[in-house]
Amino acid sequence: MDFTFSEDQLLFQESVKDFLTNEVTPERIRASWESDDGRDSALWNQLAEMGLTGLTVPEAHGGLGMSELDFVLLAQECGYVALPEPLVHTAMVAVPLLCQIGGELADLWLPKIAAGEAKVVVGLEQNLLVEDAHVADLLLLQRGDSIVAATPGQVELRHNESVDPSRKLYAVEVSDSATVVAEGEQAQALVTGALDRGALGCAAQALGLAQRMVDISVQYTSERQQFGQAIGAFQAVKHHMANVAVSLEYARAPVHRAAYSVAAGEPIASHAVSHAKLVACDAAKLAAKNCIQVHGAMGYTWEVDLHIFMKKAWALANTWGDAGFHKTRIGEHIFAEGAVLGAGATF
Amino acid sequence: MKLSFSAEDEQFREEIAAWLNDNLTGEFAKLKYRGGPGDEHTFPQERQQWEKKLAEGGWTCVGWPKEYGGRGCSIEQQVIFFEEYARAGAPGRVGHIGEGLAGPTLIAFGTEEQKQKYLPGIVAGSELWCQGYSEPGAGSDLANVKTKARFDEASGKWILDGQKVWTSLAHESDYCFVIARTDPDSVAHKGLGFFLVKMDQPGVEVRPIEQITGTSEFNEVFFDGAECDAQDIVGAPGDGWKVAMGLLGFERGVSTLGQQMQFQNELDQVVELARKNGAGQDPTIRQRIARAHAELKIMRYNAMRMLSGQSGSDGSLQKEALIYKLFWATWHRSLGELAMDVMGPECEILEGGPYELSRLQSMYLFVRSDTIYGGTNQIQRNIIAERGLGMPKEPRVAAK
């Protein structure tokens, strides 16, 4: 048993963290809100150069051939900066789905993703809308019992504004000419896998978002003075932050455990993911609530950066399965006939 | 990362499972699932015998080094030991304070003579320990200890005067580790000593405290000229706080695994009841059970993660030790509330008289103490915010 990340995994996380915190500043995010498509192709190219778009692409297709477990710490860092680009979606959802579909489709698109030349997005019926459909070169869409692959010419998009201005959401009408790439049970399994990976990506980002909100708030409450002292010295303020710290700290292990489970293809992967999504998004929601509270009226302003992270946390909590969906999945696991739960079911 | 056990470890699992299966029988069968938190008053004599039985099989102090009589088990094997111990329904350990706290403290800070004198009794399951920290005036403000220790040159012994309170299992114990003030002019955490005090002596009186459960696990302990041999102070006079805090580290280590497995048994019982009485059909109950399950898993994952020894790249694991108490105590209190909601209207009806509580009722009441003893939730949040997050310290009123 070993519940640790390797030296290499931690070093990679560190370098990605450095890059993202330098490049993806709140100012740059605010600028992207004003741009036409909300996306920053220069940044995407930089991410591709670092190997991040191709991280989970097999080496034979020009990627790094790494797993969800290798990516999970990086997804946390994407959350920490509230990265608007669909990197987590690409590495966690689109690439693994393409790999599973295989064949010519994978041969064609995986190298382009790794090179940063193409974006592929996945749309599941669990989600109301499709993220980043406007910049997609290929869309993999669940249509009832099948999955179809559609080119931009085969879809009609209707933009929906998100509470998080960084998120670009689209209702997608797909033409009958789109290619069916999976059907029946196979498609169902692929949809479940994609949903699990999407939820895992949200969970990992939620950890980063919560951490960012904590860091911002600890700094603010250590500086802001009232009654002749820093407000962070008051227990009423401290306890808000301590509750967030506990919630966040204890959401980490389930997320890492879920990443391991997904990467290893364990039978309980869906259950592990639901656990991770539930607690990580709860931690981020609690962070948002308490961090705004300790900021006082400043936390309610557009000017203070807190809402960038708070809104993404809010959005991610309710996509790729909301809390009710994931709690229900955990409940089904517990109440299933012959469920193995107690002592000895640690892993 | 590798979240599974080796073949060798699985063989160890078979070994302990088989031993428990063979030995938790006959006179010990009635101890199954008994003696856990809130139930520690049950079968005290029989559980002491069980402690000795465990020792005969070499199943006490499994994580201690072999040179001190332990089994020298790896972390993985200790995880497995606690899992199988709980799965067999083996009873709450009466020796846990000695095995989990006193022993490791002596191994870390004690003299060779102290180790020779005290460790064998813990390993043999024949000598039980209790912890003398809290006092009427030293609760949340633990360093405000007033119990005095004075060295008597004539007899060459330390003489202790004062009062401890909330002392679990003092009435069953052979020894108590006590923090007491060696320097009468000192304040707060300075000037304290850490003493190993024999309970069976004229200067020590134990009075049970009746709890809201109607039972008594906690006690008041009065020291009135209690004697302690010169060599029974751990560390130097004045080092008591350092030793006491070192001990708290052990409290948050491997010994948490056993606690989590007891929690698992309680949760299993709640799930079983929910299946039987139909409460499990209620979606709100199902979701609360799902949450309890998820949070208990978190405690176990975190224990494994901490024991795997990685300090997180985000500096997270240093906080681990600080946050565990708040998390488990709050979880356990919620479990008690969940258990009562699963029981429904039957939750108020006692098993029998006089004041005979069912295990779940007893648990529901007992968990009220969890968020208080060992540092209240409020004290824990102060510590987490100040030491974990680095928030500004609360200004303190200068000590008199």
Q: The domain spanning residue B41 has which CATH number?
A: 1.10.540.10
Distance of alpha carbon B11 from alpha carbon A124, whole angstroms: 45
Interface contact B388, partner A, CB < 8 A: yes
pTM for the whole thing?
0.88
| Residue pLDDT, tens place only, B203-218 | 999 999 998 988 888 8
| CB contact set of A201 (below 8 Å; sequence gap of 6+) | A75, A88, A89, A92, A93, A320
Mark whether B206 and B256 lie in a shared domain: no
Pairing of strands A146-150, A138-143: antiparallel
Tell me if B294 and A3 make a contact (CB, 8 A cut-off). no
Contact of A164 with A315, CB cutoff 8 Å? yes
Interface contact A331, partner B, CB < 8 A: yes
Q: A2 is written with which tokens?
A: 């070993």
Beta-ladder partners of A155:
A174
| Å between B353 CA and nearest CA of chain A | 32
Mark whether B225 and B266 lie in a shared domain: no
Query: Taking CB atoms and an 8 Å cutoff, what residues of chain B touch A328?
Result: 286-287, 290
Looking at residue B12, what is its pLDDT? 96
In a domain, B82, yes or no: yes
Compute the count of residue pairs across chains A and B with CB atoms less than 8 Å apart. Answer: 187
- Angle at CA of residue A236, ends A233 and A239, nearest 5°: 90
In a domain, B111, yes or no: no
Tell me if B297 and A344 make a contact (CB, 8 A cut-off). no
Looking at residue B36, what is its pLDDT? 82
Residue of B nearest to A274 (CA): B294
Tell me if A257 and B3 make a contact (CB, 8 A cut-off). yes
Interface contact A243, partner B, CB < 8 A: yes
Cα distances from B229 to residues A12, B183, B222, B234, in angstroms, run: 57, 18, 18, 11
Which class for B176: exposed (0-12), middle (13-18), buried (19 or more C-beta within 10 A)? buried
CB < 8 Å from B in window 279-298 of A: 279
Among B43, B72, B94, residue at a domain's last position: B94
Residue of A nearest to B392 (CA): A233
Q: The domain spanning residue B212 has which CATH number?
A: 2.40.110.10
Which residues does chain B have with pLDDT short of 70? Answer: 251-255, 309-321, 398-400
Cα distances from A136 to residues A32, A93, A312, in angstroms, run: 18, 14, 21
In a domain, B119, yes or no: no
Compute CA B177 distance to the chain's CA centroid, rounded to the nearest angstrom: 14
CB < 8 Å from A in window 205-264 of B: 261, 264
Interface contact A340, partner B, CB < 8 A: no
The H-or-E segment that residue B351 falls in is none
CATH code of the domain made up of A186-335: 1.20.140.10
Looking at residue B316, what is its pLDDT? 45
Whether B220 sits among the annotated catalytic residues: the reply is no
Alpha helices in B224-282 (DSSP H): 240-251, 255-277
Per-residue pLDDT of chain A (347 residues; tens, 9 = 90+): 888 899 999 999 999 999 999 999 999 999 999 998 999 999 999 999 999 999 999 999 999 999 999 999 999 999 999 999 999 999 999 999 999 999 999 999 999 999 999 999 999 999 999 999 999 999 999 998 999 999 999 999 999 999 999 999 999 999 999 999 999 999 999 999 999 999 999 999 999 999 999 999 999 999 999 999 999 999 999 999 999 999 999 999 999 999 999 999 999 999 999 999 999 999 999 999 999 999 999 999 999 999 999 999 999 999 999 999 999 999 888 888 777 776 666 66
Residue of B nearest to A333 (CA): B290
In a domain, B288, yes or no: yes
Of B76, B265, B287, the CB nearest to A327: B287
Largest CA distance in chain B: 72
Residue of A nearest to B286 (CA): A331
Tell me if B293 and A230 make a contact (CB, 8 A cut-off). no
Among B94, B116, B142, residue at a domain's last position: B94
Query: Taking CB atoms and an 8 Å cutoff, what residues of chain B touch A3?
Result: 1, 3, 301, 304-305, 307-308, 310
| Å between B281 CA and nearest CA of chain A | 10
Tell me if A1 and B3 make a contact (CB, 8 A cut-off). yes
Cα distances from A234 to residues A222, B82, B382, B396, B397, in angstroms, run: 10, 41, 9, 12, 14
| Å between B328 CA and nearest CA of chain A | 11
| Å between A2 CA and nearest CA of chain B | 5
Q: A203 is written with which tokens?
A: 């969970």
In a domain, B116, yes or no: no
Pairing of strands A229-230, A225-226: antiparallel
The residue with tokens 């909300």 is: A38
| Å between A341 CA and nearest CA of chain B | 8
Domain count, chain B: 3
Q: What is the DSSP letter of A2?
A: B
Query: Taking CB atoms and an 8 Å cutoff, what residues of chain B touch A256?
Result: 1, 305
In a domain, B144, yes or no: yes
In a domain, B209, yes or no: yes
Of B289, B305, B394, the CB nearest to A331: B289
Tell me if B385 and A249 make a contact (CB, 8 A cut-off). no
In a domain, B142, yes or no: yes
| Å between B316 CA and nearest CA of chain A | 7
Question: Which residue range forms the structural domain that includes residue B280?
Answer: 252-388
Mark whether B266 and B305 lie in a shared domain: yes
The residue with tokens 């706290």 is: B101
Determine which one of B40, B172, B217, B251 is catalytic: B251
Distance of alpha carbon A284 from alpha carbon B320, whole angstroms: 18
Interface contact B304, partner A, CB < 8 A: yes
Interface contact B310, partner A, CB < 8 A: yes
Tell me if A245 and B326 make a contact (CB, 8 A cut-off). no
Interhelix angle B317-343/B359-370, nearest 10 degrees: 140
